[in-house]
Structure 1
């Protein structure tokens, strides 16, 4: 404990230094102003540090600040330099709006569809910026995100989901740039929102503009799990369909994968056109084939991989994230809607979705195989997996 008392600090009026102890002193200036000062000697050098005005900083607070500063000096740090560095870091942390616009500017050249470029930013301008636009990006928390989504989560589920995905993208980008200590708290945000009625809305989908980076990571090794996940993403297939895929279902010459009715959710045969990238995955899997086993992506003892295997592969590739394997179907569907000119029924056919309207289903006799072939080739190109010569322009017929 120092030698000064609160009453002595208050009564001190004569200019000079009033020592408290261990280098801490009260300095009274000729004009009557009182400040705290800490004198420390380290490495043979003496240095005085200001701790603030005595009219604002109490005696107890001054002692606490002096204690912390002495600890820093003993650790070999320069308190002034540390304070200045912290100030500079704080000054360089952008607001959420600035971060979003910087990210948009950085990535827009890679978005081929002008409409998507505009919609990506306009959705944040409409819903996110009014709520958190002026908030430093390192201070955006779960409650902030939940509050901005609350009014549209159930009444505009698709819009809300896109706003969430784009908000998450901004925060994850800010984390990668060193502006946030952590990635977006996705799971906690969704926990506080009601369940949407939209099919598969509870399967959290990695934003489609981030899937290409994941694909690069998955190519680092050719395990059955990684190959299966790559194939699942390239074909927009369901986990069970991909894990249960058999070589007898694959036609390399026609580049088709025919899934029998008994393995489909709707109990109808589904023909999947295979892009050159999907075929390449199969060729790699073929080199790993053991004996005459028919399972394309076998686990132990030649049996199909478990659903958890693909989840573990995703968790290793994207540690700490909440994205789901099934969510890649939503990633694909969002890309179709936002970045291409394909009609919705073509995308729905690619996903083997059942048409709820029986009359419409009766009249729709095509499975859009030709269009789906170019659609899947375009998807592979978007993921950085297709040949340069692939058709990538949006289709409108």
Structure 2
């Protein structure tokens, strides 16, 4: 072993040996990053390999390949491959939601760095239980209550991911297939939105004008007049609305059924739209009708309208959420 000093001044520890009738040299590391004590330890390990007929460099390369293969076959990289496979098949919203759930609950968990071949049914069960009975908060979570619906969604994603791993030869069996949703979580009873009666609707609009901001009040009014889903309302941009023709044309990529949707605007809906434009003063057709109060490059938060409804007393027995506007519209239209 010796220290080789180049013309440029760099210094590396070298170990010369002879194997298979050839003179060879192996670089142990750079000085001073590698001390003489550590260099001697590496030289001793390399000498043992040479005595066994193995080139130290070849052994080092083999270890690197094994590390890469190990990392590639852990759960999170397989999740990333599955997400990429489905990028063009799903709507941007569905893809973003699946990515968010898996990144939050799988990537940061011990399962994320575990080889898929080593994952058992009990590992998946423990992960889903921790989501369903969530006690510790993740980075962007505000509530410590359990998330049973998310646990079921993550189970569905993992089931598809392990099926992909079987096809690619990484595993022989799907540990998620042995777990039914009922084995993992008990869902709370479904609570449907009520269709509001005329007096309740009047009370809602009157209360909303006091408890919510003006933008939130106008958003709720427009939701009731157009029978749109709240996500379609919140994501609306000015380029979709033609006030002269009284038409709101929503492109297919923003619709649940992936079909373009045209909404005729009533006189009142046009008045509200003009009021919104007066308040927000959009700079371009790409601006949102209801921008986020903290960041105008994003739409209004998904919880804004529902939070105002809760403050207005529309929860528990009087349950009514933003999505319930469609049910109220449908009930009234049918009658």
TM-score by length of 1: 0.33
TM-score by length of 2: 0.39
